[in-house]
Structure 1
Amino acid sequence: MPYAQVGPDVRLFYTDDGDAMSAPPLLLVHGWGTDSHQWSWHIDALAERHRVIAVDLRGHGYSSVPETGNTPRAMAADLDALLGRLGIPQVVAVGHSMGGQVVSILAVEHPERVRALVTLDPGYGMSAEIAAGFPRMIAGLRGERPHEAAEGIDEWCTNAATPALIRRWHKRRLYGMPPHVLAEAFEAMFVTGDAIGVRPASDDYLARRRCPVLSIWADQGRAQWESGLLKDPASAVLCWEGASHRLHEERPEDFVTAVEGWLHRL
């Protein structure tokens, strides 16, 4: 499988499937504490019509694990470098959870790279009430039992709709993660000065996205909130009520159908 050197201390693992002539390709970006295996439910179906690149972000999966710099902004810069190495001028960037932040940063900071965005229950738009609990979570991630703390955070990501297989899959991924990456990435999503995960920072930054956006949420309130930030008239927001944060893994066929239909309309 391919690797690409995107910086002095960062080599990214990625897979490249499907029709190499299709343009623009799909770039699939996983969430916090997991890796590109998260897209195993979807790659074959998407690759029937698209070139599909699925990448492990820095600190995750088979990619390099830097001692510092495991942040969404650095991850977005890595993706820009990866696309440059692959000679790909533009993609449809698809991101789940933290990956939704990463691809949104890519679209804002490198708009020429992103033809369109698909974000899946993205890791932004958190209220101040929810954010009040983040310092305690980060302390747990930096404490003596970081993986137990991460598992506690992950419980928020599931509900009765989540099959046991998916719960087990994510738990095993979390326990294989370097603890400093879990803490640094979570903190950079929501707490540091340039974090975009909490309102109103989310509003100000995401309003800078100019490309079409398809956003799929499990929460109606946050879905309605994001609909007011989208600039391109081809953008769309969906809410799959009853689904959990793992909505695209729980409903892979619905995810592929929604993305294919929206891209066809584009």
Structure 2
Amino acid sequence: MYQARRPSRSEFIPIRHLDYHVRVWGEPSTDRPPLVLVHGWMDVAASWQFMVDAMGEDRPIIAPDWRGFGLTRGPATDNYWFPDYLADLDALLDHYASDQPIDLVGHSMGGNVVMVYAGVRPQRIRRLVNLEGFGMPATRPAQAPGRYAQWLDELKALRRGDMDLKAYDSLDGVARRLMKTNPRLTEDKARWLAGEWAQPDDQGQWRILGDPAHKVVNAQLYRLDEVQEVFARITAPLLSVTASDDSLGQWWKGRYTLEEYRQRLKVVPDLREAHLDDAGHMLHHDQPQALARLIETFLA
């Protein structure tokens, strides 16, 4: 089993009528605000542990479990809306950083959140890091009727239980699932993550700590023109990090490419780009040491 070099502690804070779970490494500092790490879809805050362990600087770090993930229970809802992540993050920073500009890192879905947040609240961000938060393919207004219909159909599927997450018979079963999804993940890290990613229920079945309602498609289209306007208002230096495995190409089969993503980023006034070799989408698991060095150099 993996042994954490810098174990975290758990805090629960009230945010927007939810009891938000936050992982905290280190002690609060009057000299520097915390480094804030936000995870991706169907992930948890503890997922950052390997990268935190690889960091040389012992600064305070916080990482929330987004609503409906990990130990943060979601609201009574059958679908989730992207703007809620922005409001949750805003309240989180009010609690932990007051009016101090912070360093903010987001992975995947979390990368999408931090990009939009940094354009909406530019004064709150000192340095910004986006780890494979690609956004979505551009859409056309003509797609709206079909998207709303898909949303309604998926809400019905959720009520029928068709979108429930698979249960596993043991911790090892969860670890094997993680290793199947990411072949670079070693067994010791997979077993450690499995205990953070899932919990046993009353029948002894291990269940993923994620609300299946997260699987319901967003009812509204992804408006690239709006996103570009937000990106153009980011004032913090941005480091965009991509992995050697082209996850975007695998997901979208040509409908949306890495080159399109890079073109979108050109509206950001202060952009740096970096590439990690021998890494897939979970690059903070695959290359935690290299990623930690990259981020710390940028933040310095």
TM-score (norm 2): 0.68
- Of residues 183, 188, 203 in structure 1, which corresponds to 2:215? 183
- Of residues 200, 211, 214 in structure 1, which corresponds to 2:239? 214
How many angstroms does 1:49 deviate by? 3.4
How many angstroms does 1:77 deviate by? 0.9
How many angstroms does 1:115 deviate by? 1.3
How many angstroms does 1:165 deviate by? 6.5
1:236 aligned partner, one-letter code = R
Identify the residue that residue 174 of structure 2 maps to in structure 1: none
Q: Report the CA distance shift for 1:211/1:10 in structure 2 as closer, same or farther (over 3 A).
A: same
Does 1:192 pair with 2:220? Answer: yes
Does 1:20 pair with 2:28? Answer: yes
> What does the per-residue CA deviation read over 1:47-98, in whole Å, with 9 as the maximum and x for residues that have no partner?
7332111111111111131123733321121111122123432211100000
> What does the per-residue CA deviation read over 1:164-189, in whole Å, with 9 as the maximum and x for residues that have no partner?
67778579658332211x224xx34x
2:11 aligned partner, one-letter code = P
CA RMSD after TM alignment: 3.5
**Which structure 1 residue ranges, 5 or more long, are not aligned?**
149-153
Separation (CA, whole Å) in 2 of partners of 1:127 and 1:251: 30
Identify the residue that residue 274 of structure 2 maps to in structure 1: 238
Identify the residue that residue 116 of structure 1 maps to in structure 2: 127
**Contact between 2:44 and 2:66, CA under 8 Å: does it hold in 1?**
yes
Equivalenced residues, count: 244
2:14 aligned partner, one-letter code = Q
Does 1:250 pair with 2:261? Answer: no
**Contact between 2:116 and 2:227, CA under 8 Å: does it hold in 1?**
no
Identify the residue that residue 151 of structure 1 maps to in structure 2: none
Does 1:5 pair with 2:14? Answer: yes
What's the % identity of the aligned pairs? 26
- Of residues 45, 56, 60 in structure 2, which corresponds to 1:36? 45
Three-state SS of the structure 2 residue aligned to 1:92 is: strand
How many angstroms does 1:202 deviate by? 4.1
Q: 1:154-165 alignment to 2 at 5 Å?
A: 161=184, 163=186
**Which structure 2 residue ranges, 5 or more long, are not aligned?**
1-9, 167-176, 199-206, 247-257
Separation (CA, whole Å) in 2 of partners of 1:85 and 1:40: 22
Q: Report the CA distance shift for 1:17/1:160 in structure 2 as closer, same or farther (over 3 A).
A: closer
2:116 aligned partner, one-letter code = I
Identify the residue that residue 228 of structure 1 maps to in structure 2: 266
Q: Report the CA distance shift for 1:236/1:92 in structure 2 as closer, same or farther (over 3 A).
A: same
Q: Once structures 1 and 2 are overlaid, which stretch shifts more, 61-70 or 74-83?
A: 61-70
